[in-house]
Amino acid sequence: MKPPAIAIDGPAASGKSTVAKLVAKELGYTFINTGAMYRAIAWYLAQQGVTPAQREKIAEMLPIMPLDFGKEGTVSTVLCAGKRLESELTEPVVNDRVSLVAAIPEVRAFLLHKQRKYNESEAVVMEGRDIGTVVFPDTPFKYFVTASEEVRAARRAAQGLTDSISERDKNDRERACSPLTRAADARVIDTSDMSIEQVVAEIVNDIKAKTQTLA
Ligand code: DC
């Protein structure tokens, strides 16, 4: 039997990364941050002087990029030529371009395969925009984590980041390929007035209840 996959989707700064990490810890599953995968590609392309408009060139480069998507302990990692990417992933050029890069169908197809591969051998909590709709459409564990625009902007500012999340969300929602949208069977959690602990508890309890029903 395939190991379980927990899908956590939502807009930027909705709190889904923090929540997904804690849910993974509580369940003992591996946490996979798919935004970091798109960010790594956006960063590498910028390093190479390639803009998101150069779709054909990007499609050619994908299979030969020196990027590795692995994990350390129970957390996903992205490496470039063996070096772990961290602060690079939130550089201004990445924040500006990542949603344009993530709209390229070839990029999405390339990463879809790698994202599904993580779940072949282990249980995962995967966080992103299209996990419940495209990556694991058959999982019974789907959560759409959201918060009001004001709360999300405040959370972003508290992280010291000043990128325009509303513009990025607009791009993510309006793209033709795998847009940010709630799966019809996802449980929606508005975190605007909730603590992180409350959100984690709601998701973990729901997973446990569903697991018992499905057993
Ligand atoms: O979660 P994040 O802010 O790090 O995501 C960065 C960008 O990548 C964001 O603009 C949306 C895109 N993304 C996506 O299109 N699909 C995913 N599964 C994850 C992220």
Q: Which of 153, 155, 116 is nearest to 136 (CA)?
A: 116
Name the closest-CA residue to atom 3, ligand 1: 12
Ordered alpha helix ranges (H), the chain? 16-27, 34-47, 55-61, 92-102, 105-121, 149-158, 165-174, 196-214
pLDDT given for residue 162 in this prediction: 66
DSSP state letter for 88? G
Q: What is the dihedral of CA 167, 84, 116, 152, to 10 degrees?
A: -30
pLDDT given for residue 82 in this prediction: 93
Ligand 1 pocket mutation pick from 143, 172, 181, 182 by most atoms within 8 angstroms of CB: 172
What distance in Å separates the CA atoms of residue 186 and residue 195, rounded to the nearest whole number?
20
In the chain, which residues have pLDDT < 70?
Answer: 161-163
pTM for the model stands at: 0.94
pLDDT given for residue 183 in this prediction: 94
pLDDT given for residue 155 in this prediction: 84
18 CB neighbour count, 10 Å cutoff = 16
Atom of ligand 1 nearest to the CA of 130: 18
What distance in Å separates the CA atoms of residue 51 and residue 188, rounded to the nearest whole number?
35
pLDDT digits (tens, 9 = 90+) for 120-167: 999 999 999 999 999 999 999 999 999 998 888 888 888 776 667 778
Whichever domain contains 128, its CATH number is 3.40.50.300
What distance in Å separates the CA atoms of residue 135 and residue 112, rounded to the nearest whole number?
6
Name the closest-CA residue to atom 1, ligand 1: 35
pLDDT given for residue 114 in this prediction: 97
Q: Which of 39, 13, 1 is nearest to 145 (CA)?
A: 13
What is the 212 CA–ligand 1 centroid distance (Å)? 32
pLDDT given for residue 145 in this prediction: 96
Range of the domain at 87: 5-214
Count of domains in the chain? 1
Q: Which of 199, 146, 197 is nearest to 173 (CA)?
A: 146
